[in-house]
Structure 1
Amino acid sequence: MDTNLFLMGAVGATFFFAGLAKGVTGMGLPTVAMGVLGAFLSPLAAAGLLLVPSFVTNLWQLLTGPGVSPLIRRFWPMMLAILAGTVTGSTLLTSGDTRATSMALGIVLSVYAAYAMIARPIRVPRRLEPVASPLVGLITGLVTGGTGVFVIPAVPYLQSLGLERDELVQALGLSFTVSTIALAIGLGWHGAGLQGGWLASALCVLPALAGMAAGQAIRSRISPLLFRRIFLAFLLVLGVDMATRALWRG
């Protein structure tokens, strides 16, 4: 089989599955895409392909629901910190050290999956947000810049604030959208550009949207809890395998 044809099929299938996860659970597209693509592409190339489909799907998520303005006023310190952290952290992703970035990506995937499976929900009082939000944003940005994964610790933090369901979905969309823009800025700032070109990344929008639509259609027909457990177990195995292979490669 032609290598390019296989690669195109693998990338398309990856974004369809990533979109499916997002359609069922409301998140997971960049996490799945980076995890799977990182198995046969460099993390930098995977991050480049991720930019356009991540931006489109997360902007869609952000703009669907109640007003966006209150969320922006509440979380703008966190968003600015995400931007600063991502641009700084992208030094690792653009360093050319694929062993280090693959190991970091594997560790982040494993930690997130393990935490989400076993950790008890926590509640952060709103009075702590002025300090907690920028700190969480900075750490999230550093992790995003180094691995291309947006979820740690932003997702657990936003889930701990007691937001209404629609507010939480929008807040996650805001965080992911800003993270995507910040990652694009970080890659450009360090001269990496877009690995594979904007057209290749834009083409990945189609399978991602198809997967999202499929996920939304089947959400009511399957147990979201069961799907989430399978999804997290998959990420855990993927992350451990990626980190282990990177370690042995060294």
Structure 2
Amino acid sequence: MHTFIGFYQDIGAALSLLVLLTFLLAGAVKGVIGLGLPTVAMGLLGLGLPPAQAAALLIVPSTVTNLWQLAFGGHLRTLLRRLGSLLAMIFLGTCLGSLWLGIDSGPWAAHALGGALVVYALYGLAGPQLRVAPRHERWLGPLCGLVTGVVTAATGVFVMPAVPYLQSLGLSRDEMVQALGLSFTVSTLALAVGLAGQDALGGQALGASLLMLLPALLGMFAGQWLRQRISPTLFKRCFFVGLGLLGLHLLLNG
């Protein structure tokens, strides 16, 4: 039992409450728009925890919710064939990036996290709707995967540039939801390998992450309920504005 609660005893009641509320909110965001759990979690937890600790906490909730997301849709085999090189390079890039940079490699890590959040927020608010011709997927997919992996290793955020790339492929809604789940699952598992290689993912960290699965799932179910009652466009706009402000704070103050 100490393995599960020792982390929260160490960080104290205030930070433990921050962690709990963060995963409730992050799960709700994912329930509404289909993504955002690790992004929101890393951004908010970065206010009070080192990036490596924050990343370790999201491993179990992110893995389970993303596996859930990719399990439905009926396009898994087709997507694996089409996105195989992207996924392979995400994994390789994350592992190599962990050796080269590492999410716990210095005080700049929080600034890098903030920068990644700002870039993603700006893209979400004003980014152009790109279209990638099928003939370019062979080289652009692996390149985006490699860059995404390095960004993941440095910040714990694995949306850039993988999400814009996936959005540019002209996938159907169901394919897109499943492709995001597939990409995020590979990124999360690769991040776990990188953290383990830095001795940042021991038994206590995994136990603490497992405890956050319940609030993340509760938040996701609440978000799915909320999705039927609010405008997704308005919610996305508010989400990206808030994410941008949070990233700007981390970028400037670390």
Aligning the two structures, in what range does the TM-score lie when normalised by the shorter sequence?
over 0.9
Letter of the structure 1 residue corresponding to residue 165 of structure 2: Y
Q: 1:144-163 to 2 correspondence within 5 Å? A: 144-163=152-171
Question: Distance in 2 between the 1:102 and 1:161 partners?
Answer: 32
Letter of the structure 2 residue corresponding to residue 55 of structure 1: T
Alignment check: 8 A CA contact 2:94 2:149 kept: yes
Tell me the CA shift for residue 95 of structure 1.
4.1
Instruction: Determine the structure 1 residue equivalent to 2:143.
Output: 135
Instruction: Determine the structure 2 residue equivalent to 1:70.
Output: 78
Question: Distance in 1 between the 2:154 and 2:105 partners?
Answer: 12
Decide which moves more: 9-18 or 66-75.
Answer: 66-75
Query: Cα RMSD over matched residues?
Result: 1.4
Question: Distance in 2 between the 1:30 and 1:195 partners?
Answer: 20
Alignment check: 8 A CA contact 1:48 1:195 kept: no
Instruction: Determine the structure 2 residue equivalent to 1:202.
Output: 210
Aligned to 1:93, which of 90, 96, 102?
102
Q: 1:75-224 to 2 correspondence within 5 Å? A: 75-91=83-99, 92-97=101-106, 99-194=107-202, 196-224=204-232
Tell me the CA shift for residue 60 of structure 1.
0.3
Decide which moves more: 222-231 or 60-69.
Answer: 60-69
Question: Distance in 2 between the 1:105 and 1:94 partners?
Answer: 9
The TM-score with structure 2 as length reference comes to 0.93
Instruction: Determine the structure 2 residue equivalent to 1:5.
Output: 13
Number of aligned residue pairs: 244
Instruction: Determine the structure 2 residue equivalent to 1:227.
Output: 235
Alignment check: 8 A CA contact 1:62 1:170 kept: yes
Alignment check: 8 A CA contact 1:43 1:147 kept: yes
The TM-score with structure 1 as length reference comes to 0.94
Tell me the CA shift for residue 214 of structure 1.
0.3
Secondary structure of 2:199's counterpart equals coil
Letter of the structure 2 residue corresponding to residue 144 of structure 1: T
Instruction: Determine the structure 2 residue equivalent to 1:238.
Output: 246
Alignment check: 8 A CA contact 1:49 1:194 kept: no
Secondary structure of 1:93's counterpart equals coil
Gaps (5+ residues) in structure 2? 1-8
Alignment check: 8 A CA contact 1:49 1:195 kept: no
Letter of the structure 2 residue corresponding to residue 32 of structure 1: V
Instruction: Determine the structure 1 residue equivalent to 2:6.
Output: none
Secondary structure of 2:12's counterpart equals helix
Alignment check: 8 A CA contact 1:54 1:177 kept: yes
Question: Distance in 2 between the 1:190 and 1:5 partners?
Answer: 27
Identity %: 52
Alignment check: 8 A CA contact 2:50 2:104 kept: no
- 1:14-42 per-position Cα deviation (integer Å, ceiling 9, x unaligned): 00100010000000000000000000000
Tell me the CA shift for residue 150 of structure 1.
0.8
Secondary structure of 1:65's counterpart equals coil
Question: Distance in 2 between the 1:216 and 1:224 partners?
Answer: 11
Letter of the structure 2 residue corresponding to residue 138 of structure 1: L
Classify 1:159/1:94 alpha carbon distance in 2 versus 1 (closer, same or farther; 3 Å): closer
